Amino acid sequence: MASALINVPAKAKRGDIIEIKTLMSHIMETGYRHTTAGEVVPRDIITSFTCRFNGSEIFRTDLFPAISANPFITFFTTATESGKFEFEWTGDQGFSETASASITVE
Amino acid sequence: MRFAGAIAAVLLIAGSAFAAEIPQADRRSGYDFMKPDTRAMQDEDTANPGMLWVLDGEGLWKRKAGTANKTCADCHDDARTSMKGVAARYPSFDKSTGRPIDLEQRINSCRTSQQQATPLPFESRGLLALTAFIARQSQGVRIETGADPQLAPFIAKGRELYVQRQGQLNLSCANCHDDSWDKRLAGSAITQGHPTGYPLYRLEWQSLGSLQRRLRACITGIRAQAYDYGAPELVELELYLMSRARGMAMEAPAVRP
C-alpha cells in the first residue's frame, strides 16, 4: 500500500521560485536492528529520489539508513514553462514508485 | 497546637484527595505544547505523514471484503458525509455487548457481522488506515463522547483507573496529566493527555498508532503491567479521557513528537 503525497503549486508566474514537497510512504528499515531472536532485520530503505521536469532531471538525492520512515523531501526550483514534474523513488528489495504533478506557468 | 493541627489537616487533604481536574478554560491540546515545525507538519495535509494512512483507508473503504462481498461504502456511502462527527462520539455504547467500544472495535465488529470478514489485528496497517480515514472526517468537530447516559458507570470506572496509583513508580495518570502538565519530563512537555488526534503519527514511533498503543506505552512507563489490546480497562480509560476532552476539536490524524 505504498503511496505518495505531492505538493506542487498548480499555477506560477514565469521566474517565480516555487517549492516542491514530496512525502513517500516507506518504513526505512535501517538494517541495524535485531529481532528478539537475535536475527538482523534486513535493510529496506529508499536509496534514491529523482525529479524530472519535462523529461530533464532537475533534482536528485541519495538516501541513507539514518533517514526517518516516510521521507519528506522538499526543494525549490524556478518556474520556467508549463509542464509536468515526474518523481521517482527507488530502493532496496526492488522498491520503485513514481508520481507526477503538472504546473501551468503564465 | 491548633495551628499545627490545621497544617496536619491540610496535608492530609492534599495527600488523600484526588488532584483537582483541569478547569475547562485551561484545557489545552497536545498541539499547543509542540514546536512550530511539528505543528506545520500536522497542519499541511501534504506534509502530514498520517495522511498516508488516510489515503490507504480511503482505498479500503471502497474495497470489497469478506464472504458478504460488501464494501464499507455499500452501506455507509460517502464517508465524507456519513462519517462526519462519528469519531468525535467514540468510544460509544454497544447495545449487543452492553459495554463501551472504541472506533477500532466498531470497525472490526462491522467487519465480522456485516462483511463476514476476519477482524483486523490491533495496530495493523489496515485497521489503523480505516480508523484514520474515518477519524479524518471529524477533523475540527467538537468531541461529544459520553453524552449517552448508559456510559456513565464506565466513565466512572475509567476515572477510577485514571487516579489509581500503580506500577513500581506508584504513579497515577493524574499525577502527571492533571497535576504536572505545565512541567517537563526528561526535556519533553508532559501535556494534559487529551486524546484529540488519534490515531496519530508519532515521530518517535515513525508510524501511526492508536490511543491504546499510547496508553500501553504510558502504563509501561510507570512500570506497571500494561493491559492487552482491546481490554475493557483500556476502553474505559479511552472513554474517560475522551469525555474529559469533551468540547475540544478533533485533530486526527494529528502529529506528535
What domains does chain B contain, in order, with CATH numbers? 32-256 (1.10.760.10)
pLDDT digit of tens for each residue in chain A (106 aa)? Answer: 558 999 999 999 999 999 999 999 999 999 999 999 999 999 999 999 999 999 999 999 999 999 999 999 999 999 999 999 999 999 999 999 999 999 999 9
Q: ipTM value of the model? A: 0.90
Say how far apart CA B45 and CA B91 lie, in whole Å: 26
* A8: its cell numbers: 506542487
Q: How far is A103 from chain B (nearest CA, A)?
A: 17
Backbone phi, psi, residue A68, to 5°: -65, 165
Phi, psi of B141 (to 5 degrees): -75, 145
Contact A51, A29 (CB under 8 A): no
Locate the chain A residue with the closest alpha carbon to B206.
A69
The yes or no reply on domain A4-105 and CATH 2.40.340.10 is no
- Report the residue from B56, B59, B206 with minimal CB separation from A68: B206
Which residue does chain A place closest to B54, by CA atoms? A3
Summarised one tens digit per residue, pLDDT across range B50-108 is 999 999 999 999 999 999 999 999 999 999 999 999 999 999 999 999 999 999 999 99
The answer to whether A6 and A24 have CB atoms below 8 angstroms apart is no
Distances (CA, A) of A88 to A30, A84, A93, B205: 21, 13, 16, 26
State yes or no: is B218 an active-site residue.
Answer: yes
Residue B36 to chain A, least CA–CA distance (Å) = 17
A72: nearest CB among B47, B55, B59: B47
Task: For A4, name the nearest residue in chain B, comparing CA atoms only.
Answer: B52
Predicted structure pTM score:
0.90
Contact assignment for A1 to B59 by CB distance below 8 Å: yes
Q: What are the structural domain ranges in chain A?
A: 4-105
